């Protein structure tokens, strides 16, 4: 599982509240990614990071921000959650020498 953990694994929150999801890796990989999974859409990239304090937007970045203050942690923040952000969120890492990504177990987020 490439040493990836996500927390929390499940969260229910209300519209308008801030939410932060955490991705933690144990192997010092440079690249980390946040995806959301929705029926009929597969997985879509939200943001990714290529080093400490180095991040870039993905396909569906509106309404999300990220931070990476240390190599092992990549945080995804919903500043003001909306019902359209109800989804399953997956973190991934990429080994530096390949283009293969490995995924964490996911966080199921429900915004009421």
Partner 1 sequence: GDSVTQMEGPVTLSEEAFLTINCTYTATGYPSLFWYVQYPGEGLQLLLKATKADDKGSNKGFEATYRKETTSFHLEKGSVQVSDSAVYFCALSENSSASKIIFGSGTRLSIRP
Task: Tell me which residues touch partner 1 (CB under 8 A).
Answer: 1, 31, 33, 40-45, 48, 50, 56, 58, 90, 94, 99-106
Q: Is 74 exposed, middle or buried (0-12, 13-18, 19+ CB in 10 A)?
A: buried
Contact between 44 and 59 under an 8 Å Cβ cutoff? The reply is yes
- Minimum distance from CB of 55 to partner 1 (Å)? 11
Q: Which is nearer to partner 1, 16 or 51 (CB)?
A: 51
Q: Which is nearer to partner 1, 41 or 70 (CB)?
A: 41
Rounded to 5 degrees, what are φ and ψ at 30? -75, -45
């Amino acid at each position: 599982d490439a040493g990836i953990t996500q927390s929390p694994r499940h969260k229910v929150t209300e519209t308008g509240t801030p939410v932060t999801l955490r991705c933690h890796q144990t192997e010092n990989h440079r690249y980390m990614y946040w995806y959301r999974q929705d029926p009929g859409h597969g997985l879509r990239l939200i943001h990714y990071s290529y080093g400490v304090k180095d991040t870039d937007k993905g396909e569906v970045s509106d309404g999300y921000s990220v931070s990476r203050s240390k190599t092992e942690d990549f945080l995804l923040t919903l500043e003001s959650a909306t019902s359209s952000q109800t989804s399953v969120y997956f973190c991934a890492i990429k080994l530096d020498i390949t283009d293969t990504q490995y995924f964490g177990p996911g966080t199921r987020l429900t915004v009421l």
